[in-house]
Amino acid sequence: MTATLQKFNVFVQNLGRKTEGLNSSQDTIAIFLTDAAPVATNTVYGGVGGTPAEIAAGHGYTAGGNTCTVTSWNQTSGTLKWIVASPTAWAASGGTIGPFRYAVLYDSTTTNLIGYYDYTAEITLQIGDTFTITLDGTNGVLQIA
């Protein structure tokens, strides 16, 4: 299943204000799952006016989601690509995970939201099922040109 990153408005502002560095030595990037529709004006993970409610932890899902690794910032001919390795897959064990529809990318160091992926329909993982988010290792999670 593929989906395209939809940026939160605050992410662009945070880049401009230098409150979002997105580098592997200072920031921990993570993805959490939710069934509540994110809106462009969401700002921070778990904060007031901040974020859609995360699904319940358990059965193979940990609160806060799974961490990702920033592998590089590549610049070629004036286009910067932010390359982030895919997080580990979620595997349902001892019960179901979900339902969820959205995967939200955020900086767990600062709690700032970055963007989200909409999988267009609710997903519930049954025992033994896995869900993998595949981030683009060539074109990056995002590009700045």
pLDDT value of position 69: 86
pLDDT single digits (tens) 3-47: 889 999 988 888 877 777 676 667 889 999 999 999 999 999 986
Average pLDDT over residues 51-58: 88
In 3-state terms the chain splits into helix, strand, coil percentages (rounded to 5) of: 5, 45, 50
pLDDT value of position 48: 52
Distance, in Å, from the CA atom of 60 to the CA atom of 127, rounded to the nearest integer, reads 10
Q: How far is CA 5 from the centre of its chain?
A: 9
pLDDT single digits (tens) 68-105: 988 888 888 999 898 888 888 999 999 999 999 999 99
Query: pTM for this one?
Result: 0.91
pLDDT value of position 12: 82
Distance, in Å, from the CA atom of 40 to the CA atom of 20, rounded to the nearest integer, reads 17
Q: Tell me the HSE value of 41 on the side-chain side, using a 13 A CA sphere.
A: 2
CB-count burial class (<10 Å; 0-12, 13-18, 19+) for 106: buried
